[in-house]
Amino acid sequence: MTEPNDTVPESHTAPESNATTGPEGTDAPLHRRGIKSYVIRAGRMTQAQNRGLEDIWPRFGLTITDGRQDLDALFGRKAPRVVEIGFGMGNSLVEQAETHPDTDFIGIEVHAPGVGKLLDEVDKRGLTNLRVYREDALAVLEQCLPEGSLTTLQLFFPDPWPKKKHHKRRIVQPAFVELIRTRLMPGGTFHMATDWEAYAEWMAEVMEAAPGYANTASAETAPYVPRPAFRPLTKFEARGEKLGHGVWDLIYQRCD
Q: Active site includes 159?
A: yes
Q: Is there a binding annotation on residue 178?
A: no
Q: Is there a binding annotation on residue 163?
A: yes
Q: Is there a binding annotation on residue 136?
A: yes
Distance separating alpha carbons of residues 117 and 48, to the nearest angstrom: 6
With H, G, I as helix, E, B as strand and everything else as coil, classify residue 78.
Answer: coil
Q: Is there a binding annotation on residue 164?
A: no
Q: Is there a binding annotation on residue 54?
A: no
Q: Is there a binding annotation on residue 109?
A: yes
- The C-alpha angle with vertex 220 and arms to 218 and 225, in degrees rounded to 5, equals 50
Identified catalytic residue from 123, 159, 249, 256? 159
Distance separating alpha carbons of residues 126 and 141, to the nearest angstrom: 27
Q: Is there a binding annotation on residue 27?
A: no
Q: Is there a binding annotation on residue 123?
A: no
With H, G, I as helix, E, B as strand and everything else as coil, classify residue 236.
Answer: helix
CB-based contact 22:34 (threshold 8 Å): yes
Residues facing residue 248 across a β-bridge: 194
Which residues are known catalytic residues? 159
Q: Which residues are annotated as a binding site?
A: 84, 109, 136, 159, 163, 195, 234-237
Q: Which residues are annotated as a binding site for substrate?
A: 163, 195, 234-237
Q: Which residues are annotated as a binding site for S-adenosyl-L-methionine?
A: 84, 109, 136, 159
